[in-house]
Every structure is written in structure tokens, then in C-alpha cells.
Amino acid sequence: MLIVIGGLPGTGKTTLARLLAAHIGAVHLRVDTIEQAIVRSGLARHPVGPAGYTVGYALAAEHLQQGLTVIAESVNPLAVTRDAWREAGTGAGVRVVEVEVICSDPAEHRHRLATRSCDIPGLPQPDWQEVLDREYKPWGREHVVVDTAGQDPRESLESLVHRLGESGGAEPGPR
């Protein structure tokens, strides 16, 4: 199974992806990590364009072909990126579930951005205005939405696992 998690910076998608990966025993692919590795290699500077996503699609497909469950986590702002993740999963013959993580409380979302720490050295962090100005298109198809506003990460995980269970996926795996 491929679980594609997207959402604006500061919504809680990385925290949720990590918790879900640990809960179900999945591989967590984080496009931020891939992009910063490309920058550290000297091949590019931020923004790196489609390179990080393209590497992510290839890694996801390879892991899926090995029979692993993959959680692909990125902002995933456009139909073209969403379609490419879906193609990686369907090309590997697995079920694809798309998840959008939102924070419906603007004050909480802004506070998260202002107070979060970055665990990827050198990765630029957007400010509130950059998040507001970012190109981010609505999903044009069925997907799971998890609103993290007013919830601690474990509550958001429970909500996501429940929603995934309703759609026929994400059973806990070996630990």
C-alpha cells in the first residue's frame, strides 16, 4: 500500500507520518529529506524544483515492488504531484490512499510555524506569509482529510488510523 500524505508546512504532516509509519511498520519517505540531500550534494539550491519529488516517486516504487508499505510525505501541492504519486503506487500494483493534513485554526497553524524546530540541518523554514502565498491547489478527487487543530499528535494518529480503516487499509504491522 502507498499512503500519500500532503499538506501545507506546519499542519503536522511529518509528525503524523512518523507516528503512522511506526504504528503500521511502513517506510517513511520524506521529500524534505530528499531535497536537502540534493542541496548538500552541491547539485542544486533551494528550491530544487521537481528533483526531490522525482527521486521520491522512484524510491516509493522500488519499496512498493519489494512488498513494503510506503508513506510518502510532502507538501504535495499540485495535481501533477498527486498524480505522479498515484502512478508510482498503481504502477507497482498496490492500493493508494491519499491523505491531506490540515490545521483549520489559523492562529494555531501560525503558532506551530513560529515555534517548530527543524530536524534537517540547512533546510529553509517558511514563515506564515510564505505558507499563505504558496501555490497549493485543492484536491480534485476523493481523499482522507485529517484536521490536526486542537489535537495532540496521538489523537491525530488515532483519527487517521480510524479513517484508513474505514477505507480498507493501514493495519498495524510487525514492530
Residue 175 clears pLDDT 80, i.e. is over it: no
Amino acid, single-letter form, for residue 144: V
Burial of 165 (0-12, 13-18, 19+ CB in 10 A): exposed
Confidence at residue 59, expressed as pLDDT on a 0 to 100 scale: 98
Distance CA 49, CA 51 (A): 6
Q: Taking residues 53-65, what's their average pLDDT?
A: 98
Which helix (DSSP H) or strand (DSSP E) does residue 72 occupy?
Answer: strand 70-73
As assigned by CATH, the class of the 2-166 domain is alpha beta
Confidence at residue 108, expressed as pLDDT on a 0 to 100 scale: 98
Q: What are phi and psi of 112, to 5 degrees?
A: -60, -45
Where are the chain's structural domains?
A: 2-166
